[in-house]
Amino acid sequence: MSLATDQIPDHPLDVITIGRASVDLYGQQIGTRLEDIGSFAKSVGGCPTNIAVGTARLGLRSALITRVGNEQMGRFIREQLVREGVETSGIVTDAERLTALVLLSVENDNSFPLIFYRDNCADAALDDSDVDPDFIRSARAVLVTGTHFAQPHSDKAQRKAMRIARESSAKVVFDIDYRPNLWGLAGHDAGDSRYIASDTVSAHLKTVLPECDLIVGTEEEVLIASGADDLKTALRTIRTLSSAVIVLKRGPMGCIVYDGAIPDDLEEGIVGKGFPIEVYNVLGAGDAFMSGFLRGWLRGESHQTSATWANACGAFAVSRLLCAPEIPTWDELQYFLERGSPEKALRKDEAINHVHWATTRRRDIPQLMALAIDHRSQLEDMAGGDAQKLARLPDFKVLAVKAAEQVANGRDGFGMLLDDKYGRDALYAAGALPSFWIAKPIELPGSRPLQFEFTQDLGSRLVEWPVDHCIKVLCFFHPDDPKDLRDEQIAKLRSAFDAARKVGRELLVEIIASKHGELRDDTLARALTEIYDAGIKPDWWKLEPQKTEAAWGAIDGVIETRDPYCRGVVMLGLDAPQDELAAGFAAAKTSRSVKGFAVGRTIFGEVARDWLDNKMSDEEAVAEMAKRFGALVKIWERP
């Protein structure tokens, strides 16, 4: 039966998962041997780690018990789990061992070679001292995994957690998670082997079954857990040892749930809705499946509903490359269940992909106040062709970062717009400030029609950018421009949007209409509508000040109708004086979409001229820019 929410007392956590935590490195070239992979995508991995992420994305309160190394990969796992909303207090840092790694390639739709780098790794050293009884008691369920029964110390740790869970009326979930080579039954190059019969492994796992309330496994995993040679005998053997709900995963055929006696016809179990999709990478599908099932089971849904959610989550994972990053969020799952998809390869469904992207962003940014100094042509004009002044521009941009840092004073919600033509050193300085939001321009300054700076091949350029740097593209666009010009502008914006999504970077689109036409109450709303019509959904808009509440209201209506997941709007400055910006801020704050501002020359323009002419010292320049930026912050934050 399902686990209703009122069957046990309230607990801070829904589920604690225990076991493997690795960094997955998955080959980005599809259809080739692992030997020939040229680049890898990185994510957290390991069955229980993936399930902790998946259940958190689906709205459960999840936690993980494991070990990670005291190095960059261990810190990556911790930081990513925090971003995903997973409780990390059960993770132990192992000072002696390295974090586990997994390398994989997609050779074809049936072959996924992988290597486990787990020689004396951190998570394999988990022991019972790492299991805090009070932490276990804080959860409604504990999930143990088959691999961690392979070593005596980790076996002891999991059994301790199971015992405490049962004593506190929590449920025990067993993901059989059988990897023959992690039991020493296959070589290092056989990481993709899913089944090797072993009486020793079967005898060991059979001692786990009686203590479980939910047992989940593939047909091969059910065979190894039971020691039987055929599926019906295997299921009945498990039933003689345990009254647990048994969930049989059957890959593209979905799953069958057995709650009670095993029928003569195995098809007579409880079946959820299936979702036929194209197989891209089967790794991680089981973890996504478990996440979906647990969302239903722990919230008291019927087994059929839980199975349907599980099948849908597995379909998402098998249609995408990675493991944990591909598990759907609750919003995404509901979108898919309500609307379906015309695509057999879900990774090609733009609407679903947008929901996935927008609901898995690295952090929330409810307010943004940015100092924009990504200017290139304007500063070059100030330098007036003087080679010495041009050479000093990078130093001035570093001073701007120092000014912004002073104003932020460690608070969230601040950022910089910086270029990589003159701002390389400034980008390094801003990147050292953990809470700072950073955006970089890609447009050729002043271009109309829009052109990109340096190269029109954005993909090769953006792949070098840090993952948390936002792409900023300025487009001079007016809805009354000639159609051929608008079409050309939108095509270029579309290529920027496609590149941003392909390489996993956020996109800010800046629209300036007033330089090439009248700015009426509906001008920007019409411009945004035309851009949305082309399938472009930027994470941020950067828009010029509007004179009326009606203009902002029209913009709100377009954004909320066309993309409710949009982060919002930041208002630009256009070198306006402070009092004029203050009036613009007042109008903008009537908008539901405007989250802050990104202003440049109002802050640094006069300072740059004086500094380049040696009329102002570094310290004076920093102080003056901090004063101006701080004044705008105070105006924006004014009730």
Would the pLDDT of 405 be above 50?
A: yes
Query: Which phi and psi (to 5°) does residue 570 adopt?
Result: -115, 140
Q: Lowest-pLDDT range, 93-102, 317-326, 333-342, 531-540?
A: 317-326
Would the pLDDT of 1 be above 80?
A: no
Q: Over pLDDT 70: what percentage of the chain?
A: 98
Handedness of CA 25, 195, 265, 245 (dihedral sign): negative
CB atoms within 10 A of CB 6: 7
Q: Choose among 531, 584, 540, 529: nearest CA to 565.
A: 540
* Buried residues in 115-138 as b, exposed as e (16+ CB within 10 A): bbbbeebbbbbbbeebbeeebbbb
Would the pLDDT of 285 be above 90?
A: no
Would the pLDDT of 189 be above 80?
A: no
pLDDT digit string (tens) for 20-35? 999 999 899 999 999 9
Would the pLDDT of 161 be above 90?
A: yes
Q: Which residue has the higher pLDDT, 111 or 336?
A: 336
Q: Which residues, including other chains, have CB under 8 Å from residue 348's CB and lie 6 or more apart? A: none
Handedness of CA 57, 49, 507, 500 (dihedral sign): negative
pLDDT digit string (tens) for 34-64? 999 999 999 999 999 999 999 999 999 999 9
Q: Over pLDDT 90: what percentage of the chain?
A: 86
pLDDT digit string (tens) for 218-277? 999 999 999 999 999 999 999 999 999 999 998 878 899 999 999 999 999 999 888 888
Query: Which phi and psi (to 5°) does residue 509 adopt?
Result: -105, 120
* DSSP character at residue 409: T
Average pLDDT over residues 155-173: 97
d(CA 116, CA 185): 14
Tokens read off for 522: 């509906």
- pLDDT at site 191: 58
pLDDT digit string (tens) for 551-596? 999 999 999 999 999 999 999 998 888 999 999 999 999 999 999 9
d(CA 320, CA 618): 50
pLDDT digit string (tens) for 495-540? 999 999 999 999 999 999 999 999 999 999 999 999 999 999 999 9
pTM of the model: 0.93
pLDDT digit string (tens) for 76-117? 999 999 999 999 999 999 999 999 999 999 898 788 888 999
Would the pLDDT of 183 be above 80?
A: yes
* CA distances to 445, 482, 569, 615 from 449, in Å: 11, 11, 23, 38
d(CA 229, CA 231): 7
As a whole number of angstroms, the longest Cα–Cα distance in the chain is 91
Tokens read off for 534: 């082309």
* 559 close to 541: Cβ distance less than 8 angstroms: yes
Q: Which residue has the higher pLDDT, 250 or 610?
A: 610
Average pLDDT over residues 171-191: 84
d(CA 217, CA 286): 8
**C-alpha distance across the termini of the chain, in Å:** 53
Average pLDDT, the chain: 94
| Order of strands, sheet of 22-27, starting from the edge strand that comes earlier in the sequence | 40-45, 22-27, 100-104, 114-117
- pLDDT at site 2: 47
Would the pLDDT of 121 be above 50?
A: yes
Would the pLDDT of 192 be above 80?
A: no
